[in-house]
Amino acid sequence: MVRHAGRGWHGRVLAAAIGVTAVAAATSVWTAQADPTATGKRHAGTGVSARPSASPAGAEGSTQAKVSAAIAHASDRGARGVNITIDDGPDPVWTPQVLRVLRDNGVKATFCMVGTQAQAHPDLVRAVVAAGHRLCDHTVSHDTGMDHKSQAYQSQQILDAERMITKASGGVRPLYYRAPGGAFTPYSRGLAASRGMRPLGWNVDSKDFERPGTAAIVATVRKEVANGPTILFHDAGGDRSQTVAALREVLPWLKQQGYSFGFPVR
């Protein structure tokens, strides 16, 4: 699992989140314990129906069903299932195009959203939910080095993003947590799981973020899908036209190979 460090957009997202990071110390009261037997592996997958939270995400006394802190990779559709995951949005240019391709192919996906992006584009978050897709917490500012930061910082990044996404969606909570670049820690996995968000990794990195060309993205997925069911794409962080074009080819091809589309297991 390769970290996507050095992304030009990360600095802009981080700057937008500065006002939120001031609350890091306050959020350190969340002290969820990670599974001591689990390791910090950098891959995962899972799924369950999204429901509006009974009380605001992060509110004291709110109750969420706890899930495993182990990083998920499997599909709820079994051995021939695949999970399409879309990271870093929502984006006003690319998310609608990705949604259109998914709709045209009858595919549901998991959208791993950056908190500030969700806050800026609540209409897109609600469009994702309305189309039957699932939400995933991808932190406030997409800091790929957060596994080297304090627990208070990790808590702020996860919990504030959870609140932002839940508010933007109209009350539908994220069911997963994906650490930027796979920067999981035992603490962050345990905290996310205590909030009902299964840590989510990936098996196939389509490399679409690097914009190697549509043919290269398609070839990577075709070659590596045997490695596991959870496939990583992006709908933000730059020009994602190659991703949109690749999805138009990859989704029908996966169907032709006998795969069905599901959600990561929870």
Give start and end residues of each alpha helix (H) in the chain: 8-16, 18-21, 24-27, 94-104, 115-120, 122-130, 151-169, 186-194, 214-224, 241-256
Percent of the chain scored above 70 by pLDDT? 76
Phi, psi angles (nearest 5°) of residue 196: 85, 15
Angle between helices 241-256 and 94-104 (to 10 degrees): 20
- pLDDT: is 152 or 6 the higher one? 152
Residue 87 a catalytic site member: yes
Chain-centroid distance, C-alpha 29? 24
Q: Is the peptide bond before 199 cis (omega within 30 degrees of 0)?
A: no
pLDDT at residue 65 in the model: 78
Nearest to 20 by CA among 117, 134, 111: 117
| Cβ contact 14:41 at 8 Å | no
Instruction: Say if CB 82 and CB 258 are below 8 A apart.
Output: no
Tell me: the pLDDT tens digits for 17-39?
444 443 333 333 222 222 322 32
The catalytic position among 87, 88, 143, 205 is 87
Place of tokens 């290269």: 216
pLDDT per residue over 154-204, tens digit each?
Answer: 999 999 999 999 999 999 999 999 999 999 999 999 999 999 999 999 999
Q: How far apart are CA 182 and CA 40, in angstroms?
A: 9
Q: What is the 3-state secondary structure (H, E, C) of 232-252?
A: EEECCCCCCHHHHHHHHHHHH
Residues with Cβ within 8 Å of 147's Cβ and at least 6 positions away in sequence, in order, are 40, 154, 179, 183, 184, 185, 188
Catalytic choice (10, 43, 138, 234): 234
100: exposed, middle or buried (Cβ count in 10 Å: 0-12, 13-18, 19+): middle
Q: What is the pLDDT of residues 39-93, one digit of tens each?
A: 233 333 333 333 333 333 333 334 577 899 999 999 999 999 999 999 999 999 9
CA distance from start to end of the chain: 21
CA 33 to CA 193: how far, in whole Å?
9
Is 123 an active-site residue? no
pLDDT at 63: 53
Q: Which residue has the tokens 């969420």?
A: 64
What is the token pair recorded at 1?
Answer: 């699992």
The verdict on pTM exceeding 0.75 is: yes
